Structure 1
């Protein structure tokens, strides 16, 4: 298995994205950080991410974003290709964080989902911004069912 760096498509204003980044760092890794609002992926890159996650395009969209409603994107008339074009035109519509590692590609909502993509164990305790303990003092998951 090649040893590619972990990459996170990150929005620093999003608590889930910050928690995910911190969990990656808590494993001892320093990821490549792509702030997708200012550096959106190309169409080919976004298509590749969606294919790697094996999820419908709409699952990668922030459906609670007001722009989603304003553009009437819930209408079934929009093809997957058109929805991808909207995400490229308006990166705020892209759900986050998306993490890519040797172990897979995944939308990490909730942030603990990133643990399945990390090759190294957590190096210490981790508590999310909201106070929820995710990793105990022994470096073990508190909620392994996630």
Structure 2
């Protein structure tokens, strides 16, 4: 069973998602995408799997989004992909790929819908919030 997380260890949501996957008994392939950015083709594939546009994958907070003027609708998808390649921090995280699908896991408990195991025992996030698995999975 292959599970991959595109992870930023500086991000609390990403850390919680990774911990939740491990709490479920799965050791995922961890891609620290700031150190090893996905290729344009990999990003396109992830977007297709998630059903998202390039713009929907962009992260504003803590990135050069504003100073680059990326809120302006003039930018094409290809240009936005160029920006993500130049500044991988613009890619929102965490993105998780499992046999049940690929998802931008915000909030972190969204990963439960695509984990190929379950139900997962209750999990406590870094902030103390307890996550309970309802057992709902994509089919």
TM-score by length of 1: 0.88
CA distance in 2, matches of 1:122, 1:37: 32
Partner residue, 1:75: 72
Q: Distance in 1 between matches of 2:49 and 2:67?
A: 29
The residue aligned with 1:41 is 38
Over the residues paired in the alignment, what is the CA RMSD in angstroms?
1.6
| Structure 2 unmatched runs, 5+ | none
**Structure 1 Cα separation of the partners of residues 13 and 45 of structure 2:** 23
Structure 1 alignment gaps of length 5 or more? none
Q: Is the 8 A contact 1:24 1:31 kept in 2?
A: yes
Q: 4+ residue runs of structure 1 moved beyond 4 angstroms? A: none
**Corresponding position of 1:115:** 112
C-alpha contact (below 8 Å) 2:63/2:90 kept by paired residues: no
Matched, 1:32 2:3: no
Partner of 1:82, secondary structure, is helix
**Deviation readout 1:98-136 (Å, 9 max, x if unpaired):** 00000000000000100011011155331111111003x
Distance in 2 (CA, whole Å) between partners of 1:66 and 1:34 is 19
